Amino acid sequence: MAKAKKKAPAKKKAAPKKAAKTREVLIVASKVKEFIKANGKQSSGDVIPALNEKIYALLEEAVTRTGDNGRATVRPYDL
């Protein structure tokens, strides 16, 4: 009797690489979605990352302005 050959395990497909690094989320997604829903609207799946990028841009501008003004503390008017 001939022995049956064992099949080699299937190779896993490589996960697709992301185009850009994802930044840490600075907002509470559930609260944002709750706000949108309370106003009678729906939110798409990409609204949280888009809002997060806007927050990063706002903060980056505030930090730059703070440094340009020779301060180390970001203040509300820097926003």
User: pLDDT tens, 15-71?
Assistant: 555 555 678 999 999 999 999 999 999 999 999 999 999 999 999 999 999 999 999
Print the domain residue range for 55: 43-78
* Residue 4 within a domain: no
- The pLDDT, as a whole number, for residue 22 is 78
Domains: count for the chain:
1
- Sign of the CA dihedral 19, 25, 31, 35? negative
* Residue 31 within a domain: no
- The pLDDT, as a whole number, for residue 14 is 62
* Residue 54 within a domain: yes
* Residue 59 within a domain: yes
* Residue 12 within a domain: no
Say what the pTM is: 0.69
- The pLDDT, as a whole number, for residue 16 is 57
* Residue 8 within a domain: no
Do residues 32 and 47 make contact, with C-beta atoms less than 8 angstroms apart? yes
What does the alpha-carbon distance between residue 57 and residue 4 come to, in Å, rounded to a whole number? 62
Per-residue tokens: 12: 């896993």
* Residue 23 within a domain: no
Do residues 24 and 45 make contact, with C-beta atoms less than 8 angstroms apart? no
